[in-house]
Amino acid sequence: MPPLDKPGPRAVEERSFHGLAVSPGIAIGPIHVSDHFDAAVPDYRIAPEEIEAERARFAAAVAVSIKQIRKLKTKAQNLPDAAAEEMGYLLDAHLAMLSSSRLIRGVDRRIAEERRNAEAAVQAEIAEIGERFAGMRDAYLAARFDDIRVVGARLMRNLVKKPFEGFAMLREGTVILAEELTPADIALMDPRRVAGFATALGGAESHTAIMARALALPAVVGAVGLLAHAERRETAIVDGTAGTVIINPSAATIAEYRSRREELQRERRQLDKLRRLPALTRDGVEIGLQANLELPRELDQALAAGAAGLGLVRTEFLYMNRADLPGEDEQYATYRDLLVGMNGRPVTLRTLDIGGDKIAESLAEVSGAPGANPALGLRAIRLSLKERKLLDTQLAAMLRAAAHGPLRILLPMICTLSELRRVREALAQVARRLKRRGVAIADPLPPLGVMIEVPGAALAADALAAEADFFALGTNDLIQYTLAIDRGDEQVAHLYDPLHPAVLRLIQFAIEAAIRARIPISVCGEMGGDPRFSALLIGLGVRELSMAPSNIPRVKRRIRSLDTIAATRRARAIMDQWDSGRIAALLDDFNTLA
Ligand code: PEP
Ligand code: MG
């Protein structure tokens, strides 16, 4: 059986694509196209009573495929005229193949009559269509068969729903190109093998982008048209600083990018020298620079960057790429290792924040099918409070781990005081249960804090501050919800504006509420790791920032160059403005001066 899909027309000349620059750095290497279907095809017989369910499973995969192609089509409209037209025709052809075509009818029939599972039925149907086409020896028809195979591969991926397993087998320094990658896919990438990646879809603040920055993998997302011109083993350059992808680069282009890469490496070595220096402003105010952790393997990076603690551990990694749920002992061991690794420095563990663009297979059963608006649905703390076993298991593991060092518990997507109260009760109950079991736990119980990442929570920050032990400002979601911009959608990425006055007012309100209540507040959204915003956040009163370990040196350099009194004055001037352009100018001006 030949592979189900095949790359599009071979690009002989150098071709450039533009997308969103989401993770800085330059990758140069052989291409691996991740949207091919490489995994083994499951092949089994089904019982007569399973036929309907199997047909429904196939129909669901067809529906998802149609949705994906429509999304690509919308995106393709932004391409230059001829390319938009070409892509439009191609995608229309793919859509036609998914609606009552010979392929779909054939697969359906094989499920019902031959009682084969959907994947095997797709494979058999395509093999048969292929044999017919092979007999025709017509170049036009051969190209049509290529399209059928591409559609078949898409159906297969949507049926198997397996994360890309092939990453472990890649040659060192490979560049991955894909239509879309999930955070779980990135978690499987080994930076020793994967040099970087580029995708056709995805937004700059998506968790996929955050995961790429965490692993320091150069990445570009939203580069439409990319896959039609990529062939395995050809070379690609991903410039995650400029947002450019070059396929089949000339020798001169490769040489140019190599020298840029060396320049970036030199800059990084310079920044590394800051590691041992304190994060002190020019007027002697210490700013706590902590690390966000997506995966435990970043711990060494956090230590190497001189992190003062872990300001946000996204525990979602425990639930990714597996079919079962992590138990209390497994979670305890992971959390304990982080505390021991941080050697007395504080570790902030956030309870499960699944939903929106972070979907875990292992939770599909408990969380059910995503609603029409997953970002507004049963996610994060809402899911934990509904499925108390999820929450209790996490809290028990965290309480046990707290015996090994200063641990703080952070709750995602809090909207109301009652959610915080219910978790506090749950924490007390779990603590009592553990004590009855004779387990050593921290006394007093660890601090319980809330993410301020929903506009309603920011506006109710004074009430929340009265009962929360600390705040962590999640600017990624705060911007998404305040401006109604899906952080993972490249089509609205240009509207995602951290300097929108509405966003800044919510941030200011939350900071002032925390200061009045004398509770610590940190910024752990992506704004916290961007040196452009350091002066503004510090000027507004923040004294703790948490970010991807690779961002710490750059932010430290900015902090060491600024004066808090001047920053406070500039922040006040900025807060008097209502135009983001003017705000940006005032901030950028200040950044170049001080
Ligand atoms: C945020 O929303 O800013 C945040 C830190 O949480 P996450 O990015 O994990 O949603
Ligand atoms: Mg968030």
Q: What is the 3-state secondary structure (H, E, C) of 329-393?
A: HHHHHHHHHHHHHHCCCCEEEECCCCECCECCHHHHHHHCCCCCCHHHCCCHHHHHHHCHHHHHH
Residues of the chain with pLDDT under 50: 1-11, 164
The atom of ligand 1 lying closest to the CA of 205 is 8
Ligand 1 pocket mutation, candidates 314, 317, 477, 486, criterion most atoms within 8 A of CB: 477
The atom of ligand 1 lying closest to the CA of 526 is 3
For residues 391 and 192, give the distance between their C-alpha atoms in angstroms, rounded to a whole number: 35
- Residue 454: how many other CB atoms lie within 10 Å: 24
CA of residue 412 to ligand 2 center, whole Å? 7
CATH class of 48-160: mainly alpha
For 182, residues 6+ apart whose C-beta sits below 8 A from its C-beta are: 163, 208, 357, 359
What are the structural domain ranges in the chain? 15-36+165-253, 48-160, 282-567
Question: DSSP letters along 520-561, please?
Answer: -EEE-SGGGG-HHHHHHHHHTT--EEEE-GGGHHHHHHHHHT
Nearest-ligand number for the alpha carbon of 213: 1
CA of residue 452 to ligand 2 center, whole Å? 9
For the chain, helix, strand, coil in percent to 5 are: 55, 15, 30
Phi, psi of 233 (to 5 degrees): 75, -10
For residues 407 and 344, give the distance between their C-alpha atoms in angstroms, rounded to a whole number: 9
CA of residue 577 to ligand 1 center, whole Å? 26
Q: Whose CA is nearest to atom 10 of ligand 1?
A: 477
The H or E element containing residue 311 is strand 310-314
Evaluate whether 185 touches 210 at the Cβ level (below 8 Å).
no
Evaluate whether 97 touches 103 at the Cβ level (below 8 Å).
yes
The atom of ligand 1 lying closest to the CA of 474 is 3
| C-alpha distances in Å from residue 371, one per residue of 320, 355, 436, 482 | 20, 10, 40, 20
Q: Whose CA is nearest to atom 3 of ligand 1?
A: 474
Residue in the block written with tokens 């620059």? 21
Q: Whose CA is nearest to atom 4 of ligand 1?
A: 474
Structural fold of domain 282-567:
TIM Barrel (3.20.20)
CA of residue 525 to ligand 1 center, whole Å? 5
Number of helices followed by number of strands (H, E) in the chain? 22, 16
CA of residue 54 to ligand 2 center, whole Å? 36
Looking at the annotation, which residues are catalytic?
207, 524
CA of residue 350 to ligand 2 center, whole Å? 10
The atom of ligand 1 lying closest to the CA of 475 is 3
The atom of ligand 1 lying closest to the CA of 480 is 2
Ligand 1 pocket mutation, candidates 382, 496, 524, 533, criterion most atoms within 8 A of CB: 524
Supply 153's token pair: 């591969």
- H helix runs in 26-138, sequence order: 51-76, 81-97, 102-109, 118-136
Domain 15-36+165-253 coded CATH 3.50.30.10: yes
pLDDT single digits (tens) 352-401: 998 655 666 567 666 666 677 888 888 899 999 999 999 999 999 999 99
For residues 70 and 43, give the distance between their C-alpha atoms in angstroms, rounded to a whole number: 30
User: Which residues form the pocket of ligand 1, taking CB atoms under 6 Å from any ligand atom?
Assistant: 210, 312, 314, 353, 453, 474-477, 524-525
Q: Whose CA is nearest to atom 8 of ligand 1?
A: 476
CA of residue 493 to ligand 1 center, whole Å? 16
The atom of ligand 1 lying closest to the CA of 477 is 2
Q: Helix 81-97 and helix 139-160: axis angle, to 10°?
A: 70
Ligand 1 pocket mutation, candidates 316, 354, 379, 453, criterion most atoms within 8 A of CB: 453
| C-alpha distances in Å from residue 359, one per residue of 10, 61, 369 | 35, 17, 10
Q: Whose CA is nearest to atom 6 of ligand 1?
A: 474
CA of residue 219 to ligand 2 center, whole Å? 21
Strand runs labelled E in 365-520: 407-411, 448-452, 470-473
Nearest-ligand number for the alpha carbon of 524: 1
The atom of ligand 1 lying closest to the CA of 312 is 5
For residues 292 and 188, give the distance between their C-alpha atoms in angstroms, rounded to a whole number: 18
CA of residue 331 to ligand 1 center, whole Å? 21
For residues 126 and 103, give the distance between their C-alpha atoms in angstroms, rounded to a whole number: 7
Q: How far is CA 251 from the centre of its chain?
A: 33
The H or E element containing residue 292 is strand 288-293
- Map residue 27 onto helix, strand or coil: strand
The model's pTM is 0.80
Nearest-ligand number for the alpha carbon of 545: 1
Task: Supply the pLDDT for residue 1.
Answer: 37
The H or E element containing residue 175 is strand 174-178
For residues 401 and 439, give the distance between their C-alpha atoms in angstroms, rounded to a whole number: 11
Supply 193's token pair: 């093998």
